Chain A
């Protein structure tokens, strides 16, 4: 049985969709069968970040309403063949998602995939609660700034109350993914430090993704960063986070694009 993961945050624009795509691709590259689901009905983005926007025929809402079968709606990635996308509908809104429909789709996907990754919409309303409903594990995406941290705290509270696991009295696994981290700005005191964020949220850290232009470039080209430029700093951070998600013990570090003196020497010699 596969693991259902929700990528959520409360606040918008912190990097849920980017992280879903990057982690999904990172897991799929190791041979795991992965499906990423866009729960952001009406404001779909995951198809763009995955570069599949021209291949969408049927979507999540069609499957829920019975207009299409699940295999018809799943889009297989062209670069990594164990990676699939279930796109959201752009012409509907979140009310088109029904509780039973979502439960049925997740129930069908779970035995067929190793990982079912749900990309939650921002907010704490219907779309977000349905995205987290069936999750075994939650990745809470947070930027090191106060409003994002407080919204994440709110979401963690909801994860402990509104998910199926919580209602059965079990505990949902929660991980914190700190994105858009800028070491220089943190050093100047313009951002919350990692320690501050961890202290406020008291949730284990899955990874720290450094702020990078590479991310924006990858999104615009429709390739998850972990496929387009796996040696870049953010991609290495996502690859490490994906390994931690699989349960491997990987030492926490903040990858950087700046080369150390050894790297420079090595780079020159190789050139």
Chain B
């Protein structure tokens, strides 16, 4: 037990579990099947790695994140717009606190000079920008929020907030309704079903070359021949169920298993797929 992984002793196991929790995000490879050879690689703390050593990773997990930002669109003359803004801030102080704010100047009649002034004015009002949209790339040096593009306009953010808020009638958070998506037709090759809010149920088959991505579990009353990715929003308890498993790819919470790794004795049978630690398990149902 000098060089090999010493994860057999109980003490080490618990510390390994803690490490594992700390390392969940960056260091999990694809479907690490708890093979002895994989263990040391997976459980090494970043501090263990000598500076300068390049650690080989099977994969690096990135997750998309979308959130609703408030877009500030100044109007000309900027001075007038700023005094309007001040009026807002007087009636709803703290409106911009902890809200992601994007400055949108893509209508583009602002000079570089005006732009710098505007940033200073916003800063003096305590409005911190998350990003800038539509500015000339040369204006946005280091130390300024990054330049972005491709933002889409969403519904106006609770305009109730803009009117003087009445005491005791705070904007109610949206009701947490159970979300699920029911598809009554087969999912055809080339189609993608993306439902990050909850479970997806398909009455029919999912064809080879089709893809289902669900935030929750996936239930398929038919053959699964395409790709199914459950728990895409970081839910390791999500599962995949299907009445016939011939999948091209199975994934739960970003860990995946390809067709070649599915045990041959399960193939073609009703099955469920879940995440057992870091291993994607596929077992026959019934």
Contact = CB atoms under 8 A, between A and B. Distances in A.
A153 B189 CA distance: 5
A150 B208 contact: yes
Contacts of B188: 153-154, 156-157, 160
A156 B189 CA distance: 9
B185 A153 contact: no
A154 B185 contact: no
Given A200-B225, A202-B186, A157 B191 contact: yes
Interface string A148-184: 0011011011101000000000000000000000000
A202 B207 CA distance: 10
Interface in B163-217: 185-191, 204-205, 207-210
Contacts of A200: 205, 207, 223, 225
A153 B204 CA distance: 13
B225 A157 contact: no
Interface in B55-74: none
A214 to B, nearest CB: 32
A68 B181 CA distance: 51
Contacts of A156: 188
Contacts of A153: 188-190, 207-210
Centre residue among A124, A199, A200 by max chain B CB count within 10 A: A200
Interface string A139-150: 000000000001
A181 to B, nearest CB: 21
Contacts of B187: 157
Q: Is the interface of B mostly helix, strand, loop or mixed?
A: loop
B267 to A, nearest CB: 15
B190 A160 contact: no
B204 A157 contact: no
B3 to A, nearest CB: 48
Contact of B209 (A150, A158, A160, A199): A150
Nearest to A161: B191
A202 B204 contact: yes
Contacts of B189: 150-151, 153-154, 157
Nearest to B225: A200
Interface string B210-246: 1000000000000101000000000000000000000
A160 B204 CA distance: 15
A26 B191 CA distance: 35
Contact of B205 (A151, A160, A202): A202
Contacts of B210: 153, 157
Nearest to B186: A202
B209 A154 contact: yes
B190 A157 contact: yes
A160 B184 CA distance: 13
Interface string A181-211: 0000000000000000001101000000000
A179 to B, nearest CB: 19
A154 B191 CA distance: 8
A153 B185 CA distance: 13
Contacts of A199: 205, 223
A155 B208 CA distance: 13
Given A157-B190, A157-B191, A150 B207 contact: yes
Contacts of B209: 150, 153-154
A200 B187 CA distance: 11
A160 B187 CA distance: 11
15 contacts: A150-B189, A151-B189, A153-B188, A153-B207, A153-B208, A154-B188, A154-B189, A154-B190, A156-B188, A157-B188, A157-B210, A160-B188, A199-B223, A200-B225, A202-B186
Given A153-B208, A154-B189, A154-B190, 7 more contacts: A150-B207, A151-B189, A153-B190, A153-B207, A157-B187, A157-B210, A160-B188
Top 9 closest A-B pairs, CB basis?
A: A157-B188, A153-B189, A154-B189, A154-B190, A153-B207, A157-B191, A153-B188, A150-B189, A150-B208
Interface of B: 185-191, 204-205, 207-210, 223, 225
